[in-house]
Structure 1
Amino acid sequence: MTEPFVQHGNQLLLDRWMQHIPNLTAGFTTRQGGVSTGNYTSNNLGLHTHDDKQQVVANRHQTASEAHTSLEQWVFADQTHEDQIVKVPRALAGSGSLDYNDTIKRTDGFYTDETGVMLSLGFADCVPLYFIHEGNKLAGTAHAGWKGTVRNIGGKMVRLWTEFENVPAGEIYAAVGPSIGSCCYQVDQRVIDELHKVLADFEPYTKNEDGTYQLHLKEANRLLLIQEGIPPENIHVSSYCTSCSEKLFFSHRRDNGKTGRMHSFIGFTR
């Protein structure tokens, strides 16, 4: 399968979508091209980290410029590893862009049907999910760590669109972005037990001799999206592992929590 995220400068863009959908901007930032130093070298976009705030804001301005947008269009969240999804109107554009206190609270998913809004969420191993419906100009993104996955935040996005936006699940396209791979993601029985509650018929993991598991979090989310009615051919999955690719990505697990954040971004510019 062809990698759906293609590097352009310091960003990974969802080329497959952007080439065919007018005015769509969608992608994932890398750790490259910023001004931060130390554990946050160099393009840290996380205002809630212990990085210098002015450096993070400078990184954000540069990131927005590379995406041919302005930071005033971007919307950021106070993420809590839960499943709240907020529909974002243009009036909220700029929320959290310069100050963490102004983020949209307790939110791990965004979607919008308005142009000029760039939805963005932070990551350092968790799975970024992307959603698009070209006809209705709906765009969305969600943050799925293991807690968001077992809460099926991706499936919740699909249900919101089908129930409140009158979009059949079969017309939704989704992408599963760069995140930690099963090669680097070891979990215990508690996580697997929670996963079985929402994904009873599949085992996207392998068991280790010591009783732990190597969890394929991207595959778990792909299966959950199929379970919600998105056709498999409408789902694109990145092969990038954030833990393995140290030059491209921050990784919470690899760096023992002392690290920066990449961001998903998606929206219609006009």
Structure 2
Amino acid sequence: MIKVNRGFKRNEIDGVVFYTIPAFENTGKVRHLFSTRIAGISGGPYSSLNLSLTRYDDKGNVHENFRRICHAANINYDDMVFSNQVHSDGIRMVTSSDKGKNFGLSDIKNADALMTNESGIPIVTFYADCTPLYFLDPVKNVIALAHAGWRGTVKEIGPKTVEAMVNTFGSDKKDILAAIGPAIGVCCYEVGKDVVDEVSKLDIDLDKVLIDNGNEKWMLNLEMTNYLELIKCGLKDDNITVSGLCTSCCSDEFYSYRRDKGKTGSMAAFMELI
């Protein structure tokens, strides 16, 4: 079983609902959140706080949705940094020169993880079932976000992000706080043999992450897979917070690519050193 540290905390400001991580908040080092679909202006399948510009939602609506979530979280809308996520294990270090690389203006390509040790740079990654991974070293003042779908998970983007923090900034693994955000749960994520073959290459206890449904179909626990990877790479169990929230089950709060058959919006993870 995953040891759920303290879970994520549900917040509501001016009607905007988002989640935060108590262990991160307690450091006083970061602003951070995971958005929901509540209190935006988008309609139809994107209702209502859609943060994706790659769907068919009106761009003006998406920009307004960003303004609302940024206002609620006290994040500077103009400084946000995005990348074009490609389900890879690419990691990009972000500096103050990257501020404002967003909304199609970013030259940060092929990176599913962003990290920085500079304050005042809001890094942002996007989700609609994939696993958000948050990292904070409160000693060296380093943050990172990683987008881990099944492809990123089998490429071990989480452990690779930890190693990048160690190698680039001198982080000590015992100091690093991590959090696994809302993602599609084992209850809802059925996969085929192609995915299972890749997951089976990981050096983890597969009995903890795969449930055989028969007919070459399995239920995959992405949350547990990422948790086991982070433990194996050297993070302390007590330093890992797990949300336990399924994006597919919680249709009133989250978008889900799988549940909505691709016609859906996106949530986002935000983090910024203060």
In structure 1, the partner of 2:93 is 87
Counterpart contact for 2:5–2:240, Cα < 8 Å: no
Is 1:31 matched with 2:48? no
Q: Extract unaligned runs of 5+ from structure 2.
A: none
Counterpart contact for 1:250–1:262, Cα < 8 Å: yes
- 1:257 and 1:199 map into 2 onto residues whose CA distance is 31
Out of 204, 207, 221, the residue aligned to residue 216 of structure 1 is: 221
In structure 1, the partner of 2:202 is 198
TM-score by length of 1: 0.95
The residue type equivalent to 1:57 in the other structure is H
Runs of 4+ in 1 over 6 A off after TM superposition: none
Percent identity of paired positions between Structure 1 and Structure 2: 35
Deviation at 1:23, TM superposition (A): 3.9
Worse-superposed segment, 241-250 or 63-72: 63-72
Deviation at 1:62, TM superposition (A): 1.0
In structure 1, the partner of 2:108 is 104
Counterpart contact for 1:76–1:103, Cα < 8 Å: no
Counterpart contact for 2:76–2:122, Cα < 8 Å: no
Counting matched residue pairs gives 266
The residue type equivalent to 1:238 in the other structure is S
In structure 2, the partner of 1:5 is 8
- 2:19 and 2:72 map into 1 onto residues whose CA distance is 11
Out of 50, 58, 65, the residue aligned to residue 52 of structure 1 is: 58
Secondary structure at the residue paired with 2:226?
helix
In structure 1, the partner of 2:171 is 167
Deviation at 1:200, TM superposition (A): 4.4
Deviation string, structure 1 residues 167-217 (Cα, Å, up to 9, x no partner): 122221110000000000001122111112223443311100222110000
Is 1:15 matched with 2:22? yes
Is 1:73 matched with 2:76? no
In structure 2, the partner of 1:62 is 68
Is 1:151 matched with 2:155? yes
- 2:79 and 2:184 map into 1 onto residues whose CA distance is 29
- 2:166 and 2:143 map into 1 onto residues whose CA distance is 14
TM-score by length of 2: 0.94
In structure 1, the partner of 2:234 is 229
Q: Extract unaligned runs of 5+ from structure 1.
A: none
The residue type equivalent to 2:151 in the other structure is K
- 1:125 and 1:91 map into 2 onto residues whose CA distance is 31
- 1:29 and 1:201 map into 2 onto residues whose CA distance is 31
Counterpart contact for 1:206–1:214, Cα < 8 Å: yes
- 2:241 and 2:107 map into 1 onto residues whose CA distance is 29
Counterpart contact for 1:75–1:103, Cα < 8 Å: no
- 1:102 and 1:171 map into 2 onto residues whose CA distance is 31
Secondary structure at the residue paired with 2:230?
helix
